[in-house]
A and B are shown apart, each in its own frame.
Chain A
Amino acid sequence: GAGVSQSPSNKVTEKGKDVELRCDPISGHTALYWYRQSLGQGLEFLIYFQGNSAPDKSGLPSDRFSAERTGGSVSTLTIQRTQQEDSAVYLCASSSHGTGRGGYTFGSGTRLTVV
Chain B
Amino acid sequence: QQQVKQSPQSLIVQKGGISIINCAYENTAFDYFPWYQQFPGKGPALLIAIRPDVSEKKEGRFTISFNKSAKQFSLHIMDSQPGDSATYFCAALKPGGTASKLTFGTGTRLQVTL
Contact = CB atoms under 8 A, between A and B. Distances in A.
Interface of A: 4, 31, 33, 35, 41-43, 45, 48, 50, 53-54, 56, 91, 93, 98-101, 103-109
Q: Which of the listed residues B36, B41, B100 has the most CB atoms from chain A within 10 Å of its own CB?
A: B100
A99 B95 contact: yes
Q: How large is the interface on B (under 10, 10 to 19, 20 to 34, 35 or more residues)?
A: 20 to 34
A99 B42 contact: no
Interface of B: 6, 32, 34, 36, 41-46, 49, 89, 93, 95, 97-107
Contact of B98 (A45, A53, A101, A106): A53
B52 to A, nearest CB: 13
A61 B36 CA distance: 24
Contacts of A109: 43
B43 A4 contact: yes
A91 B101 contact: no
Given A91-B43, A106-B44, A106-B45, A42 B101 contact: no
B100 A43 contact: no
30 contacts: A4-B43, A33-B102, A35-B104, A42-B105, A43-B44, A43-B89, A45-B101, A45-B104, A50-B98, A50-B100, A56-B98, A56-B99, A91-B44, A93-B43, A98-B97, A99-B93, A99-B95, A100-B102, A101-B32, A103-B46, A103-B49, A104-B46, A104-B102, A105-B45, A105-B46, A106-B43, A106-B44, A106-B45, A107-B43, A108-B43
Contacts of A54: 98
